[in-house]
Chain A
Amino acid sequence: MEERIDFYPTHEVGGIRFRRGRPLPFGATIVPHGVNFSIFSTAAHSCTLVLFRKHEPQPLIEIEIPREFRIGDVYSIIVFDLDCENLEYGYRLSGPWDPSAGHLFDKTRILCDPYAKVIGGRDIWRAQPDWNDIYQYRARLSFDDFDWEGDSPLEIPMKDLVIYEAHVRGFTAHPSAKVSAPGTFGGLREKIPYLKSLGVNCIEILPIFEFDEWENSSLHPETGEPLLNYWGYSTIGFFAPKAGYAATGSLGMQMDEVRNLIKELHRAGIEVMLDVVFNHTAEGDQRGPYISYRGIDNRTYYMLTPEGYYQNFSGCGNTLDCNHPVVRNMVLDCLRYWASEYHIDGFRFDLASILGRDQNGAPLSNPPLLESLAYDPILSKCKLVAEAWDAGGLYQVGSFPAYGRWAEWNGKYRDTIRCFIKGDAGLVPELAERIQGSPDLYWHRGPTASVNFITCHDGFTLRDLVSYNSKHNETNGECNNDGCNDNYSWNCGHEGETNDPKVNALRYRQIKNAASLLFLSRGVPMLLMGDEVGRTQKGNNNAYCHDSIANWMDWDAVERESELLRFFCKLIAFRNAHPVLRSDNFFVHRDNVGSGKPDLAFHGIRVGQPDFGDGSRCLAFLLCGRHASPEDDDIYVAINAYWDALPFEVPAPPEGVHWRVAINTSMPSPDDIFDSEGGPRLDFDDVIVGGRSIMVLVSCRRR
């Protein structure tokens, strides 16, 4: 018996039976006995569905969608009796070819469905593509069912989040990872225990929307190394996970593999945040390939100049017109899909300021897309994090339209901490703001609007930050002209690797100083993959193109750098153990709980005398634990970025309690950090804080 009265064929071409489809949902949906295909184009004259058997060079059949099947601008058709697992589909759109008017229709091209949930063509990472194929990125059908066994997004409060930014392939591609499927979602799953032991509770992964690692690939002119799009900030399909990142990608099972990874991460208490790229697509500028959008509805999807050229606010050739109502809906559909069908916990938006520009590129004060995302019922518990700038010069750190929901990558946090640590004078007032969660930027939004980071995929690793004064991007094949020049880094006396024990000791200290500030600051800390074990990119600050050990996580370093790793593990545990370090609210600088002291008090080398002057490189502060919880301890932090040791006068501990040393970055392991309840007792009113060092004391009542 049929389940519906309207799912029966009415037409037939070449033995394939079909009927009028349903406009919603967009994309391809498996229905009883068939598949519903639906696609929109505002300016096309007609639309042809092109069906392939999987991997076949020529189409199985092409069906021009009858005019009467169109409703509004939407073409929809149900095709019956298809072998869903063995099918690929695309479209040919016919319409005007008028570049100056923004129309680029070309019926000779077969185009990928913008709503494709699975895309074939780059199924195996780095497998040589067949460039003669008439259809490079092939939309496929998907099974939407998955047994989540009660899983749902974790909804960890933002104040408690510790983010680990990682690259799916780079995390386990190195042979030292010793996983069953290196460089894949499955490989990452096998390393969940490592993430758990590190203490992070959110993994933010670089783009996993389908992209082509071969895009703009080349061989390095001197070394011959293949240079690929390793990072993947170049979307082909917004709904499809990167097949080449899946061990089962060649079998078309990437959806299940990603979902299984997320389920297992959630079981371990770790959230998943996706780095999403909606600012541009992989189609590039006028010279770029026809993949999908430009051939389907160029004028709708892209921001164009009055002459019909692509606006380039992304620095990547084109700019998606995110505040066009149709594109806005696609972005919303996409994020809802990932949140509901993949249980994604949050999104970090690459070059998010573009999402706040109008259709001509002008910044909007009330951008509809950002507002829609902020108030969407499905996304309402998802973390939304903006990279609050773009390549067109819009810099919105502190002013990104937030609607009480959006957080930001705090670029000012990164720059302040970097400059302060390397010894720049006069930064103490700004340092004080950053440690407090940047109230100067987010006074109306709270400290959890600030994602604090010192390093991320884009720029130096933490080890390189203390090993290089300037970038060394020669291996990128662009004569060291690419990448940022403002690194605010210091090599500690020698450019690059060295055996000088003094330089190396200082570097470890500087790494620990940076990490300590990161995890002692209010806001949401984010750690870059491998920083905890001293990962180096040999001074390359723009390593987007290296799929090699130059970029991958070296797991031998887990043993080799065990002392550094121990420091990070204990530091994260220290943050997790002390609620006073984490809060939704800013400090109020007064006593709200009757403890006799304010929640935060700044000091200098003398109690009550912080030096905010131009020559200052020191700051101390006291956090009153009772302001966070009756059980929490007081924490005293003395920061000395001056090159010599300095005596700091320590405020009196709470009555009947002693100060204990929790962290002292001037000491070698294991005396650099102790359990969160503190180590050796301090019996003096002064403490000597080594040059370029941080001392943390904790008043533990429980001992």
Chain B
Amino acid sequence: MKLQTAEDNGILTVRLEGSLDGKTAPEAREHLQRFLAANSKLILDLSKVDYLSSAGLRLLLVLYRELTARKGKLALLGVSEDIRTVMSHTGFLSFFTLVDSEVEAVAAVS
């Protein structure tokens, strides 16, 4: 899994690529936690994520909880239809703001 970060105008954008699963989620979590200390507005770009396991879904929810506890905001960008369906069945979908473009993403966390 690859992870790229960019910060613009107080908004942190993290692009993930590959699978977010039991193997990669702890690593991603460690990275994200480092950045989150200074940011409360996060766009998670999942358009290059092809697989999200139970552990991956749990990481997203933990992020959501951490950010909302600090009155921050989280937007998920480019979530594939398949992953949306899985998130819907398992109850994770309703927590998140899903957006299809970067403009929408910025608006969602601003």
Contacts and interface: CB of A to CB of B under 8 A. Distances in A.
Interface of A: 83-86, 143, 145-147, 180-181, 184-186, 189, 246-248, 251-253, 256-257, 259-260, 263-264
A85 B91 contact: no
Given A147-B61, A263-B91, A253 B22 contact: no
B54 A252 contact: yes
Interface stretch (B9-17, B38-46, B81-89, B97-105): B81-89
Interface in B45-59: 53-55, 57-58
A143 B85 CA distance: 20
B66 interface: no
A62 B60 CA distance: 35
A631 to B, nearest CB: 38
Query: On chain B, which size bracket covers the interface?
Result: 10 to 19
Contacts of A264: 91
A185 B58 contact: no
A85 B22 contact: yes
Nearest to A86: B22
Contacts of A146: 91
Interface in B28-79: 53-55, 57-58, 61
B55 A253 contact: no
A260 B91 CA distance: 5
Closest 3 A/B residue pairs (Cβ): A260-B91, A85-B22, A256-B90
Nearest to A85: B22
B2 interface: no
B87 to A, nearest CB: 10
Given A83-B23, A85-B21, A85-B55, A181 B89 contact: yes
Contacts of B58: 143, 145
A247 B85 CA distance: 9
B91 A256 contact: yes
Given A247-B85, A252-B53, A260-B89, 9 more contacts: A181-B85, A189-B89, A246-B89, A247-B89, A253-B54, A253-B89, A256-B92, A257-B89, A257-B90
B8 to A, nearest CB: 31
B54 A85 contact: yes
B90 A248 contact: yes
7 contacts: A185-B89, A189-B89, A246-B89, A253-B54, A253-B86, A256-B54, A256-B89
A257 to B, nearest CB: 5
A246 B95 CA distance: 21
A630 B21 CA distance: 60
Contacts of A259: 91
B84 to A, nearest CB: 10
